[in-house]
Amino acid sequence: MTRAFGLIVVGDEILSGKRADKHMPKVIELLAARGLQLGWAEYVGDVPARITAALGRAFGSGDIVFSTGGIGATPDDHTRQCAAQALRVPLELHPEAELLIRERMQDTAREQGIAYEPDRPDNIHRLNMGVFPKGATIIRNPYNKIPGFSVGHVHFVPGFPVMAWPMIESVLDSRYAHMFSSGQSGEKSVIVFGAMEATLTPLMQAIEAAHAGIKVFSLPSVDHPEYGRHIELGVKGDPVRLDAAYAQLIEGLHAYDARLGPELVR
């Protein structure tokens, strides 16, 4: 089975509604531009036990997973520690991360016109942002040099979109280019009035069984402003097989005496 792409969004602010999640739509966009798609997503508040459990599932899944948020060094940032706990490995200051964080501190001191004091308590504390699970590799951060990290195929980036999105792109392009496709995937569907999904399920199953590389989808609606109550029923996938699968769909719907509306091609 091909690895799926997953997304974990960490943060109380998402679940409380203080901030709207922007990561999932962007990750879907970044993947789609490379002929890929998001397989699953999970939202987790700032509760260490829940974060550890979510990351344990991610590490055990074999999927390619991006985790956003919670990798800072404030009391409500738990992701680094939870990743180590899920992996059952110690945390350690990554030497390359330390160098990058110290570079950032020197840049900040220079911008402020003050002397860089490496042993000042707040600067020492900032090095915690480079404390990762043992064996991690870094993800460079083009925005402010404070890195994220990867362990296997699970990749950790900050919650800030301006940092997270370029970092996710760099991971995709540097590690998973072999999985990219030309994005050649078609989709055809038709509006079906007055039918029940349960009635049409055998037809949907027959089409998927007969056409490898094709998925059938059913999107019911009860209050569409134009079509009212209806089902959008369609096929998507390999363009070479799409027309034959769609022809079988239409033929099957006629056999059910279904009332058909507009056809949609994407």
pLDDT tens-digit readout, 73-98 = 999 999 999 999 999 999 999 999 99
Residues 204 and 135 in one domain: no
- Using pLDDT thresholds of 50, 70 and 90, give the confidence band for residue 1: low
Residues 33 and 149 in one domain: yes
* CATH value at residue 56: 3.40.980.10
* CATH value at residue 222: 3.30.70.2860
* Domain final residue, candidates 159, 179, 199: 179
Residues 157 and 193 in one domain: no
What is the reported pLDDT for 182? 58
Residues 145 and 196 in one domain: no
* Domain final residue, candidates 152, 179, 206: 179
Residues 190 and 168 in one domain: no
What is the reported pLDDT for 222? 85
* Domain final residue, candidates 131, 164, 179: 179
SS (H, E, C) the chain: CCCCEEEEEECHHHHCCCCCCCHHHHHHHHHHCCCCCEEEEEEECCCHHHHHHHHHHHHHHCCEEEEECCCCCCCCCCHHHHHHHHHCCCEEECHHHHHHHHHHHHHHHHHHCCCCCCCCHHHHHHHHHHEEECCCEEECCCCCCCCEEEECCEEEECCCHHHHHHHHHHHHHHHCHHHCCCCCCEEEEEEEECCCHHHHHHHHHHHHHHCCCEEEEEEEEEEECCCEEEEEEEEEECHHHHHHHHHHHHHHHHHCCCEEEEEEEC
Cα of 175 vs its chain's centroid, Å: 15
What is the reported pLDDT for 195? 79
User: CA angle at residue 53 from 48 to 58, to 5 degrees?
Assistant: 125
pLDDT digits (tens, 9 = 90+) for 18-31: 999 999 999 999 99
Residues 194 and 174 in one domain: no
- % of the chain exceeding 70 in pLDDT: 98
Residue of 77, 118, 78 lying closest to 99 (CA atoms): 118
Instruction: Find all residues with CB under 8 Å of 115, minimum gap 6, and list them.
Output: 109
pLDDT digits (tens, 9 = 90+) for 179-217: 987 556 789 999 999 878 888 999 999 999 999 889 999
Residues 74 and 35 in one domain: yes
Residue of 28, 10, 13 lying closest to 172 (CA atoms): 28
57 or 184, higher pLDDT:
57
Among the ranges given (32-46, 122-136, 211-225), the one the predictor scored with the smallest mean pLDDT:
211-225
Domain count, the chain: 2
Among the ranges given (28-32, 62-66, 140-144, 219-223), the one the predictor scored with the smallest mean pLDDT:
219-223
- Using pLDDT thresholds of 50, 70 and 90, give the confidence band for residue 46: very high
Q: Indicate the pTM of the whole model.
A: 0.82
Residues 153 and 201 in one domain: no
What is the reported pLDDT for 184? 64
Residues 124 and 206 in one domain: no
**In angstroms, rounded to a whole number, what is the distance separating the alpha carbons of residues 70 and 73?**
8
Average pLDDT, the chain: 94
Structural domain boundaries enclosing 53:
5-179
What is the reported pLDDT for 223? 82
Residues 198 and 175 in one domain: no
Residues 193 and 172 in one domain: no
Residues 227 and 162 in one domain: no
